Amino acid sequence: MTTLEGAEPSIPGVPNDEDEAQSVIARLAADGWSEQLIPGSDPATLRCGRCREVHPLSEWTIDDERRLEGASDPADMVLVVAATCPSCGAQGTIVLGYGPEASATDSDLVAELPLRSPDGRAR
């Protein structure tokens, strides 16, 4: 799990208004996660923006994830995921919705993410 450069100190997993998806993606891109990841056509799969290969999410290395609810609007429930492609090693990001408003595609991917403890470590 990486620490985002320039990120405000915060309690892991607790949203704040500074953490809008675009600023999180920009910080990750500056740290090397610059490819766009795209949902694959099969459930719980991702397509790499560089090599275009599709793999089940379980084969990707999940490097970081940041839950954003928007402290002012909890209905804005998104998860920014940074991952490394198992085929070419490209590092990229994807923004997934979660909760009752999430699409079936996003929900399938979120359900496959490894569980993390409150301090952000995989468990």
Inside any domain, residue 3: no
Inside any domain, residue 14: no
Q: What is the pLDDT of residues 68-104, one digit of tens each?
A: 876 656 667 899 999 999 999 999 999 999 988 899 9
Inside any domain, residue 105: yes
Inside any domain, residue 39: yes
Note down the domain range covering 91.
21-112
Inside any domain, residue 35: yes
Inside any domain, residue 66: yes
The CA distance from 63 to 14, in Å, is 19
CB neighbours (10 Å) of residue 16? Answer: 14
Question: Could you tell me the pLDDT band of residue 1, with boundaries at 50, 70 and 90?
Answer: very low
Q: How many domains does the chain have?
A: 1
